[in-house]
């Protein structure tokens, strides 16, 4: 195949004159909706004060201790639904801002290529995978795992084969799985991301880390990345017409 990557890939006809608009000015509605939902939750909790925040974290954050400690105080079923709801909670506005920014950057090419339904499915699968990774590696611990970082990492993983795929007559094709580790730029992108993730998790560069009581966990980042990559190849069309 011709190595004609399309890092800013977008379908034709997005602009008013029939040409594609720059991605930053033409964010898919699904990406806007997800970011809006995250911001709305943060605003509601901030307006509600400490009591609402404590209630939300107790009921909807991912807490591994729920699965192992007999009599742990919790809402019935929260050990299961928290694998999804933890994604909507953030430690502070900086945490939310960073996740929203990366969601905007990497969610945009993913949403354009996949369409709304598959994009949302990818977000869900990545977030759950990130939650499961944190759950397994912190099994039984009384910590709070919060944030959309797992889902965002999955979108980043999906963006890599899209960014380094090819334009072909009649469509765009993502980088095949077998080429991910042999494509120099794709491999470097993944290695740099992995290094940053482990560094930020280990030293608390993002403000919190897996060493603190409230965890913005590197485990969720890596779990979300792996889950998102598998989910992308499972649900993505092999070729998208452009």
Q: Residue 116 maps to which CATH number?
A: 1.20.1540.10
Residue 223 domain boundaries: 27-235
Which range, of 54-58, 182-186, 216-220, averages the lowest pLDDT? 216-220
In a domain, 4, yes or no: no
CB 99 within 8 A of CB 147: yes
In a domain, 220, yes or no: yes
Which range, of 85-94, 143-152, 200-209, averages the lowest pLDDT? 200-209
Length of the chain: 242
Report the SS3 class of residue 214: strand
Looking at the structure of the chain, the number of domains it has is 1
Question: What pLDDT, in 10s, does the model give residues 66-80?
Answer: 999 888 888 888 899
In a domain, 160, yes or no: yes
In a domain, 7, yes or no: no
pLDDT-above-90 percentage for the chain: 51
In a domain, 8, yes or no: no
Strands (E), the chain: 144-145, 166-168, 171-173, 214-215
**What local confidence, expressed as pLDDT, does residue 179 receive?**
86
Contacts 24+ apart (CB under 8 A), 18-24: 23/108, 23/109, 23/112
In a domain, 12, yes or no: no
Which range, of 62-66, 129-133, 195-199, averages the lowest pLDDT? 195-199
Question: What pLDDT, in 10s, does the model give residues 84-105?
Answer: 999 999 988 998 999 999 999 9
CA–CA separation, 18 vs 26, rounded Å? 13
> Over 50: is that where the pLDDT of 238 sits?
yes
Query: pTM of the full predicted structure?
Result: 0.81
> Over 70: is that where the pLDDT of 6 sits?
no
**What local confidence, expressed as pLDDT, does residue 225 receive?**
94
Furthest C-alpha separation in the chain: 63
With bands split at pLDDT 50, 70 and 90, how would you rate the model's confidence at 201?
low
């Amino acid at each position: 195949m011709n190595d004609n990557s399309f890092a800013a890939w977008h379908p034709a006809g997005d602009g008013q004159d029939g040409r594609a608009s720059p991605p930053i000015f033409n964010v898919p509605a699904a990406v806007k909706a997800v970011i809006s939902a995250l911001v709305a939750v943060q605003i509601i909790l901030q307006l509600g004060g400490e009591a609402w925040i404590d209630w939300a974290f107790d009921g909807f954050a991912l807490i591994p201790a729920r699965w192992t400690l007999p009599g742990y105080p919790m809402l019935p079923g929260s050990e299961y639904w928290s694998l999804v709801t933890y994604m909507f909670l953030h430690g502070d506005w900086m945490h939310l801002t960073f996740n929203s920014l990366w969601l905007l950057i990497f969610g945009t090419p993913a949403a354009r290529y996949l369409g709304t339904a598959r994009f949302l499915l990818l977000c869900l699968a990545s977030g759950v995978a990130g939650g499961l990774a944190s759950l397994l590696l912190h099994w039984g611990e009384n910590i709070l795992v919060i944030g959309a970082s797992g889902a965002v990492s999955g979108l980043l993983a999906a963006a890599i084969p899209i960014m380094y795929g090819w334009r072909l007559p009649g469509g765009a094709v993502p980088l095949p799985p077998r080429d991910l580790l042999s494509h120099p730029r794709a491999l470097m992108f993944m290695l740099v991301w992995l290094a940053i993730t482990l560094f930020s998790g280990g030293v608390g560069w993002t403000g919190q880390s897996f060493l603190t009581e409230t965890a913005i966990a590197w485990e969720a980042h890596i779990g979300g990345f792996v889950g998102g990559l598998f989910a992308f190849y499972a649900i993505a069309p092999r070729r998208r017409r452009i």
